[in-house]
Amino acid sequence: MSVPGAAPGVDAVVFDLGNVLVRWDPYGPYEGRLPRAAVDAFFRDVDFPAFNHLQDAGRPWAHARADVQARMPQHVPALDLYVEHFRAALPGPVPGSADLVRELRAQGVRVLGLTNWSAETFHHAEPAAPAIGLLEAVLVSGEVGLAKPDPRIYRLLAERFSLDPARTVFLDDSAANVAAAAAEGFAAVLFTTAPAARAELAARAVRV
């Protein structure tokens, strides 16, 4: 049976969440609480992208805190502020993305999420960007112990939701994640803005 809003070759659209549906600013939790220089020192010393990726892949924040306490205890207060005020890292929806979700749903296209996110902070996502609640389902990396660009998480996505990667458009703001998805056979698109994503979908004959 054909899907009304998609070309014969597209059955579903999968959205990344951070900076695709919901804005993420890691400096948000520190505004008015810690000087920027101290935040930059924390991010630099722990290699924040790599450090944060471990929580995305399932490491509890308590274990992350123990690691910082053991190696660089001067940064424990900065870590605690980030976790305690994580909601402030999500300043709201990405402009235009909610309309894409709604229009795809209205056309009968399956719409799902695949996100690198700590299981312990994911509950903050939907309040910051209500369109997340319109998704059929979201595969959360921290809940399954795998994080993009690990190819296994794309395979799990396809298996869990009965997706044919070749008939699934995947939108992500990370070039590495897009490349990994493409290697697993997904129609992977680098997300920059909602209008650009709309054009990419239209190029694939997805009517939004």
Question: Which percentage of the chain shows pLDDT scores above 90?
Answer: 93
Q: Residue 9: pLDDT band by 50, 70, 90 thresholds?
A: confident
102: which 2 tokens? 């709604």
User: Angle 40-41-42 (CA atoms, 0-180°, nearest 5)?
Assistant: 90
For residue 120, which of 50, 199, 56, 193 has the smallest C-alpha distance? Answer: 56
Q: Residue 4: pLDDT band by 50, 70, 90 thresholds?
A: very low
Name the residue ranges covered by the structural domains of the chain: 12-24+91-203, 28-89
User: Chain-wide mean pLDDT for the chain?
Assistant: 95
Residue 189, pLDDT > 80, answer yes
Residue 3, pLDDT > 50, answer no
**pLDDT, position 7:** 47
**pLDDT, position 1:** 37
Domain range 12-24+91-203, CATH class: alpha beta
**pLDDT, position 8:** 55
Residue 12, pLDDT > 80, answer yes
User: Of the segments 1-10, 152-161, 199-208, which one has the largest average pLDDT value?
Assistant: 152-161
Average pLDDT over residues 98-107: 96
Residue 153, pLDDT > 90, answer yes
Average pLDDT over residues 72-76: 98
Q: Which residue has the tokens 């997340």?
A: 132
Contacts 24+ apart (CB under 8 A), 122-128: 124/86, 124/87, 124/90, 125/17, 125/22, 125/90, 127/87, 128/22, 128/23, 128/87, 128/90, 128/91, 128/92, 128/93
Residue 31, pLDDT > 90, answer yes
**pLDDT, position 208:** 81
